[in-house]
């Protein structure tokens, strides 16, 4: 079958799936028409093909060929708590919500004492007991109109994290959402949906971990919607460690109010094909955002990173730093867009993408973009692609460090610029460990280059 036929076929399967499972999808009455509109949009648009500008380097055919069974058919199966141990952060104390194949697992989750008024719960539970509190956020930030995967998620989601921080409240301990994907005979799919609302002047740290184990074939299609109130501070981490045969597509939309300060860290290690789309919007003056990303595919993995920062209001600042380290036959894509609207004067936007190719077979595409409709702005972007500096390796070797160690030191140093932005020390340590464990073994690609 051609890729186009595969995409059409998969589309029909999903539409049929929606028709049969729609009555069982939980949710209040106001959600049903939204789900229906979303599937209608999906039906009209279909899966993107490589002719679509944003999907030029991403072939979805392998994903669409897999006959995924929606995980709503399955039950949270017996994932042992010990298996989640590698996904925690050592001494770091966090509240933790665990979702197995998209469904909340009370057995694996625990809440630590939280300040008054803070709500950390499963979205399914909120939709059952207090749907009114999510009505103004759910499906209001992430637009399903022009994104097939957001549309699919909106049609099918059943659960995810719900976090609400009341105004003026500071939550000291991070909140950790863990999404575990497992499959046995049948490949499974899940559509986690997270809704986060930060009240005025509140502060929180949120971690999303996506976990899985080889050789499970799973597909996670996650959507996170965040609204950051005036003067709020959010430190957000997304750590993607899915099985290397998994597919991972995640969209995060952040709507920022006046003087809010958001840091989004996106770290991609796992999955055969992963795609992270981060979309932040400034709706009022004085906001700032930092997008910080590291992608480290090896083997035949592909890691895509799309970001869009919408400066719709004046006097906002965005700083973006994405670094890619690519080994084996992996592919990486960085596509960053900064959009400064008319009258968004005094905007400062800085975007940097740097990529390190460790092997001959790796491929990276970097497309930084600036669209500027205001004049009193300072915007720049920079992008580099290169290899390890042979002179630096030579220097280290002349100091008695063997070649493999020298390459490791330099690769690690390349990644550390991103890791050093992480404020929470135990997370930083964990990331360091992950990076070190993924460094290529042997003398490295220096041979025969």
Chain positions contacting another protein, by CB under 8 A: 53, 342-343, 345, 355, 357-360, 362-387, 445, 449
CB 323 within 8 A of CB 364: no
Cβ of residue 404: shortest distance to another protein, in angstroms? 17
Which residue, 50 or 133, has its beta carbon nearer to another protein?
Answer: 50
Cβ of residue 333: shortest distance to another protein, in angstroms? 10
Which residue, 132 or 386, has its beta carbon nearer to another protein?
Answer: 386
- If phi over 0 gives left and psi between -120 and 50 gives alpha, with beta otherwise, what is residue 76? beta
Distance of alpha carbon 159 from alpha carbon 193, whole angstroms: 6
Strands 331-340 and 363-372 turn out to be parallel
Widest CA span of the chain, in angstroms? 70
Distance of alpha carbon 70 from alpha carbon 244, whole angstroms: 20
Q: How far is CA 70 from the centre of its chain?
A: 21
Strands 188-190 and 218-228 turn out to be parallel
Distance of alpha carbon 336 from alpha carbon 320, whole angstroms: 9
Distance of alpha carbon 122 from alpha carbon 163, whole angstroms: 9
Helices and strands, counts by H and E, the chain: 10, 21
- Name the 3-class secondary structure at 400: coil
Distance of alpha carbon 419 from alpha carbon 422, whole angstroms: 6
Cβ of residue 298: shortest distance to another protein, in angstroms? 13
- Name the 3-class secondary structure at 389: coil
Which residue, 383 or 416, has its beta carbon nearer to another protein?
Answer: 383
Which residue, 339 or 412, has its beta carbon nearer to another protein?
Answer: 339
- If phi over 0 gives left and psi between -120 and 50 gives alpha, with beta otherwise, what is residue 90? left
Cβ of residue 346: shortest distance to another protein, in angstroms? 11
Cβ of residue 362: shortest distance to another protein, in angstroms? 7
Cβ of residue 6: shortest distance to another protein, in angstroms? 25
Which residue, 381 or 438, has its beta carbon nearer to another protein?
Answer: 381
**CB burial of residue 34 (10 Å; 0-12, 13-18, 19+):** middle
Which residue, 112 or 342, has its beta carbon nearer to another protein?
Answer: 342
Which residue, 26 or 385, has its beta carbon nearer to another protein?
Answer: 385
Which residue, 181 or 335, has its beta carbon nearer to another protein?
Answer: 335
Which residue, 178 or 377, has its beta carbon nearer to another protein?
Answer: 377
Which residue, 199 or 327, has its beta carbon nearer to another protein?
Answer: 327
Distance of alpha carbon 419 from alpha carbon 293, whole angstroms: 9
Q: What is the DSSP letter of 110?
A: B
- Residues paired with residue 195 on neighbouring β-strands, in sequence order: 162, 225
- Name the 3-class secondary structure at 128: helix
């Amino acid at each position: 079958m051609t890729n186009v036929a595969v995409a059409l076929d998969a589309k029909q399967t999903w539409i049929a799936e929606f028709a049969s499972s729609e009555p069982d999808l939980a949710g209040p009455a106001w959600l049903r028409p939204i789900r229906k509109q979303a599937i209608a949009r999906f039906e009209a648009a279909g899966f993107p093909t490589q002719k679509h500008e944003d999907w030029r380097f991403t072939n979805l055919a392998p994903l669409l060929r897999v006959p995924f069974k929606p995980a709503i058919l399955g039950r949270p199966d017996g994932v042992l708590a010990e298996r989640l141990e590698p996904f925690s952060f050592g001494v770091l104390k966090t509240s933790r919500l665990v979702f197995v194949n998209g469904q909340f697992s009370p057995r694996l989750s625990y809440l630590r004492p939280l300040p008054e008024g803070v709500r950390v719960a499963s979205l399914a539970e909120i939709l059952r007991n207090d749907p009114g509190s999510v009505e103004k956020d759910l499906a209001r930030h992430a637009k399903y109109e022009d994104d097939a995967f957001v549309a699919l998620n909106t049609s099918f989601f059943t659960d995810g994290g719900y976090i609400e921080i009341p105004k003026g409240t500071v939550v000291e301990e991070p909140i950790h959402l863990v999404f575990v994907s497992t499959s046995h005979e049948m490949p499974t799919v899940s559509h986690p949906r997270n809704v986060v609302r930060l009240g005025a002047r509140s502060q929180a740290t949120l971690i999303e971990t996506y976990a899985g184990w080889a050789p499970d074939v799973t597909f996670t299609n996650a959507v996170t919607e965040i609204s950051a109130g005036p003067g709020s501070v959010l430190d957000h981490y997304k750590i993607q460690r899915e099985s290397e045969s998994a597919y991972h597509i995640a969209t995060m939309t952040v709507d920022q109010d006046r003087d809010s300060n958001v840091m989004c860290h996106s770290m991609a290690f796992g999955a055969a094909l992963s795609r992270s789309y981060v979309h932040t919007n400034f709706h009022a003056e004085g906001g700032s955002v930092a997008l910080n990303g590291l992608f480290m595919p090896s083997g035949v993995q592909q890691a895509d990173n799309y970001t869009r920062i919408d400066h719709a209001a004046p006097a906002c600042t965005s700083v973006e730093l994405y670094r890619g380290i690519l080994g084996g036959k992996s592919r990486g894509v960085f596509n960053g867009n900064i959009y400064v609207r008319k009258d968004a004067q005094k905007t400062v936007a800085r975007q940097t993408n740097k990529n390190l190719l460790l092997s001959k077979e790796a491929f990276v595409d970097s497309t930084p973009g600036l669209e500027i409709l205001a004049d009193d702005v300072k915007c720049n972007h920079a992008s580099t692609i290169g290899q390890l500096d042979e002179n630096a390796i030579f220097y280290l070797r002349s100091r008695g460090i063997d070649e493999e160690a020298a390459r490791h030191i330099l690769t690690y140093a390349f990644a550390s610029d991103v890791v050093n932005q992480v404020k929470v020390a135990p997370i930083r340590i964990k990331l360091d460990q992950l990076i070190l464990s993924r460094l290529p073994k042997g003398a490295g690609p220096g041979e025969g280059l």
